[in-house]
């Protein structure tokens, strides 16, 4: 047996920032060296960020990725870090003739081992996910190699993300390659309860491979996606050894006792059990087994509960969208209702209340308690607020154009949207919309009104969950993840307990046109998340008439959702990358066939 200290760099790369990501790689490798690590593992496509989408179809981008990899290998050596093997993801290309159906330039979701100032081996993801948010058949061709590098006497195999999730491929060859450790760089997005799925998967693959397994995952927000970290190390029996925090950058350093490698350097083919052949490539790096040393105690970070996970994901999604896109501040409309209250609180926790601007825009129908609740939130959180009454502005429109009913109600929302966009234009704020998933599903948003903005913090949060998250956040004490330090609960209790209303006409209530939200959200979950058709919904116990009415609302609102800003994805199927339906569509669900 041999001792090996591995460092998993659970980091937050920026898509397209190759130079900045290379700087991070050097910085985190130095941190690992200061802790006497023998191997450092970065995440999937770390040098380019993930996902890069159509950037991989540009030869200039792929060229820059390859050049950055070579340059950072030399830089590590120049800065005295060349004797630490580094595993990192990047974008490469395969040497294939162009053909119809193959991504332009044959890009590879690649991984490399850097050592001694050079790239000692390269490989690429074999299994390409093409479900949910992933479109990798569009972007990549698959790899067919399993690198096994001997590090301090231990044979370390390297596979990439989806290769762990699918049967066959490189992971199926690990046991036959005789590896003592399998390291897997990942960019696995967050969704509710995914951490338990990952731990079970990692443990099962370790048992199948007959070796310890280190799973390192990206952290941070990228447009709609949020990556939660949660990097994991298990032993050969699948038992948890170490685990990193969720939603935070972290260097997870773990000592392992692993078998000495015995195979000779060279290449040999292995049946991958999926109809393909994987070439195992063995390499031996300089340096034999280390002298015995006292291991560090392993770190197992505590798990967050479901509501804490979701809230942290929303905060991180907003924080990184603001930071990575260069915004200095945000602005949103504050009505006194629960949706805008939660959105403002998430924003304050994400960027700090001093960078959050809210606008109170009471109309002739706004209740005194709504205005009072909004003012109370401002007092508690210390955000920057201004009041712009809209009654006279709306009246000026009404003098020039005769509007009634819904059109008149929507005019108020559009005036508010125009004011927010104008203030954004003047001061450079990012406008945050405040609509929740239940509203988006049923079309209860006004185009160019409350849907106007640049980012949507609670876009993927059903209304019932909005209340749950608000109560959860009010119950929290100081947290180093949050930047809001309210001395009292940040959301006024009345915003949580009062009956929801858009307040666009006298005595309006959401239940005037929608069922109670607990009933609605259960139906929407079955229709949107689970893709049940109308007969299945009725069979599941939903009211027949309600099924027909809600399905019609959801289907007719597709054009609105297509124009809604992006927002953090937290559910298995968000309105965005996950759920893609035609706008022009005459298919209608019926409750009986």
Q: List the catalytic residues.
A: 44, 125, 161
Alpha carbon distances (Å) from 492 to 184, 376, 380: 45, 7, 8
Report the C-alpha gap between 78 and 214 in whole angstroms: 28
- The per-type count for the chain, helices as H runs and strands as E runs, is 18, 20
Of 128, 96, 509, the residue nearest 337 (C-alpha): 509
Q: How far apart are the first and last CA of the chain?
A: 65
- Report which DSSP code applies to 336: S
d(CA 24, CA 68): 13
3-state helix, strand, coil in the chain (%, to 5): 35, 20, 45
Structure token digits, residue 486: 């309210």
- Strand-strand pairing, 240-243 and 232-234: antiparallel
Q: Is the Cβ–Cβ distance between 410 and 449 less than 8 Å?
A: yes
Four-point Cα dihedral 531, 534, 539, 544, nearest 10: 140
Return the SS3 of 509: coil
Q: How far apart are CA 525 and CA 169, in angstroms?
A: 35
- Long-range contacts of residues 116-120, Cβ cutoff 8 Å, at least 24 apart: 116/77, 116/82, 116/83, 116/285, 116/286, 117/73, 117/74, 117/76, 117/77, 117/78, 117/82, 118/70, 118/73, 118/74, 119/69, 119/70, 119/73, 120/85, 120/149, 120/283, 120/285
Tokens representing 484 are 């809001």
Q: Residue 91, SS3?
A: strand
H helices of 382-487, in order, are 391-400, 405-427, 437-442, 463-474
State residue 591 phi and psi, 5-degree precision. Answer: -80, -15
Here the tokens at position 546 are 């309600």
Provide the token pair at 189. 């997005």
Task: Tell me if 280 sits within 8 A of 267, measured CB to CB.
Answer: yes
Which of 539, 307, 586, 549 is CA-nearest to residue 441?
549
């Amino acid at each position: 047996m041999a001792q090996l200290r591995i460092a998993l760099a659970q980091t937050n790369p920026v898509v397209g920032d190759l130079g900045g990501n290379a700087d991070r790689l050097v910085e985190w490798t130095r941190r690992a060296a200061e802790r006497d690590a023998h191997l450092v593992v970065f995440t999937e496509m770390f040098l380019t960020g993930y996902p890069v989408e159509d950037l991989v179809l540009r030869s200039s981008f792929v060229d820059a990725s390859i050049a950055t990899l070579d340059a950072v290998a030399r830089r590590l050596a120049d800065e005295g870090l060349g004797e630490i093997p580094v595993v990192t993801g990047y974008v490469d290309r395969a040497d294939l003739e162009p053909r119809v159906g193959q991504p332009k330039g044959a890009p590879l979701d690649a991984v490399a081992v850097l050592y001694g100032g050079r790239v000692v081996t390269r490989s690429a993801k074999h299994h390409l996910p093409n479900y949910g948010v992933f479109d990798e058949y569009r972007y990549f061709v698959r790899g067919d190699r399993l690198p096994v590098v001997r590090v301090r006497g231990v044979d370390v195999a390297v596979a990439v993300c989806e290769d762990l999730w699918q049967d066959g491929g490189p992971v199926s060859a690990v046991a036959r390659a005789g590896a003592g450790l399998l390291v897997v760089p990942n960019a696995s997005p967050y969704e509710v309860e995914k951490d338990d799925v990952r731990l079970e998967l990692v443990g099962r693959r370790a048992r199948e491979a007959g070796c310890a397994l280190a799973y390192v995952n990206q952290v941070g927000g990228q447009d709609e996606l949020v990556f939660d970290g949660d990097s994991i190390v298990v032993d050969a029996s699948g038992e948890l050894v170490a685990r990193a925090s969720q939603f935070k950058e972290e260097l997870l350093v773990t000592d392992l006792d692993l078998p000495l490698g015995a195979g000779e350097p060279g290449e040999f083919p292995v049946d991958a059990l999926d109809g393909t052949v994987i070439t195992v490539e063995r390499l031996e790096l300089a340096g034999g087994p280390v002298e015995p040393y006292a291991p560090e105690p392993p770190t197992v970070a505590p798990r967050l509960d479901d509501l804490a996970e979701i809230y942290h994901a929303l905060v991180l999604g907003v924080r990184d969208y603001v930071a990575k896109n260069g915004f200095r501040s945000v602005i949103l409309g504050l009505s006194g209702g629960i949706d805008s209250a939660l959105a403002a609180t998430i924003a304050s926790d994400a960027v700090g209340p001093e960078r959050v601007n809210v606008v109170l825009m009471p109309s002739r129908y706004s209740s005194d308690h709504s205005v009072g609740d909004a003012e109370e939130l401002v007092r508690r959180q210390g955000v920057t607020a201004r009041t712009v009454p809209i009654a006279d502005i709306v009246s000026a429109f009404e003098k020039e154009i005769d509007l009634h009913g819904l059109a008149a109600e929507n005019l108020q929302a559009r005036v508010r949207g125009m004011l927010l966009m104008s203030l954004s234009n003047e001061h450079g704020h990012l406008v945050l919309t405040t609509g929740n998933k239940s509203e988006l599903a049923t079309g209860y948003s006004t185009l160019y009104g409350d849907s106007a903005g640049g980012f949507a913090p609670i876009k993927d949060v059903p209304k019932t969950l909005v209340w749950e998250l608000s109560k959860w956040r009010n119950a929290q004490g100081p947290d180093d993840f949050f930047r809001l330090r309210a001395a009292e609960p940040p959301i006024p209790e009345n915003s949580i307990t009062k009956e929801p209303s858009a307040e666009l006409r006298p005595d309006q209530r959401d239940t005037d046109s929608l069922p109670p939200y607990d009933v609605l959200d259960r139906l929407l979950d079955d229709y949107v998340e689970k893709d049940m058709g109308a007969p299945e919904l009725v069979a599941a116990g939903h009211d027949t008439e309600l099924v027909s009415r809600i399905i019609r609302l959801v289907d007719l609102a597709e054009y609105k959702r297509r124009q809604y800003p992006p927002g953090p994805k937290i559910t298995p199927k968000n309105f965005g990358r996950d759920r893609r339906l035609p706008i022009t569509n005459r298919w209608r669900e019926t409750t009986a066939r």
